[in-house]
Amino acid sequence: MVMRAGFQDALQELQDQVLILASMADKAIDRAIAALKARDVELAQEVIDEDTLLDRRRTDIEERAIALIATQQPMASDLRAIVVILNIIVELERIGDYAEGIAKLAIRLADQPPLKQLIDIPRMAEKARSMLRRSIDAYVERDAEAARSIAAEDDEMDRLHEQVYRELLTYMIEDPRTITRATYLIWISHNLERIADRTTNICERVIYLVTGRMEDINAPRY
């Protein structure tokens, strides 16, 4: 019983670490978009530098999870919980990578004339962050229905990305001098769309945690 209690404490600590990692990823998105809007190279560089911390925390969680499996030999339901943690932290690390990519593009755009007022991209970022935060809430609360509902919102992100792509393509066709700037903004939009895809993957893991069944909610995401 003492060993079992110790295992549950260790499992709770792993979940707490997942929440910290999710908060770091959310903050990275927020700061990357803020750097883009403010043309703030220093802030963008901070996002890039701090991605290493996010990567290290993911590695630490992974090592702890593997050690827990090796030393405690968890039962099926507990093993599933650890496997889900291992999957979620991969998604969170990739979300951090996408935020880092946005920051790098913000630096490239900082010394160039604004192409247009940024409206849809910040809107996409807020949507992506909302989906991410709520997916983590669903994980904590073991809420499969909420996870399904959040994952369904990925279609809206796809539509927003398509809207941004079409608008920026029009700029490029009408004035070839805008091609570089428009291309960078398309890449940023794509990164935000991919963050939503990764969040959908988290939702699938929440459903698996609750039901024991894997559900491919949307089209394949690579």
Residue 217, in any domain of the structure: no
pLDDT tens by residue, the chain, 222 residues: 445 667 888 999 999 999 999 999 999 999 999 999 999 999 999 999 999 999 999 999 999 999 999 888 778 888 999 999 999 999 999 999 999 999 999 999 999 999 988 999 999 999 999 999 999 999 999 999 999 999 999 999 999 999 999 999 999 999 999 999 999 999 999 999 999 999 999 999 999 999 988 877 765 444
> What pLDDT is recorded for position 222?
44
Residue 194, in any domain of the structure: yes
Residue 164, in any domain of the structure: yes
Is residue 99 a contact partner of residue 51, using CB atoms and an 8 Å limit?
Answer: yes
Read off the CATH number of the domain in which 138 is found.
Answer: 1.20.58.220
Please tell me the pTM assigned to this model.
Answer: 0.92
Task: Write out the two tokens for 68.
Answer: 């827990």
- Quote the number of domains for the chain: 1
Task: Write out the two tokens for 61.
Answer: 């969680």
189: containing domain: 2-211
Is residue 189 a contact partner of residue 161, using CB atoms and an 8 Å limit?
Answer: yes
Residue 33, in any domain of the structure: yes
Residue 47, in any domain of the structure: yes
Q: Which residues contact 24 (CB under 8 A, 6 or more apart)?
A: 50, 53, 54, 57, 92, 96
Residue 220, in any domain of the structure: no
Q: CA geometry: angle at 149 spanning 135 and 197, to 5°? A: 60
3-state helix vs strand vs coil in the chain, percent to 5: 85, 0, 15
Give the distance, in angstroms, between the CA of residue 9 and the centroid of all CA atoms in the same chain. Answer: 27
Residue 73, in any domain of the structure: yes
Residue 20, in any domain of the structure: yes
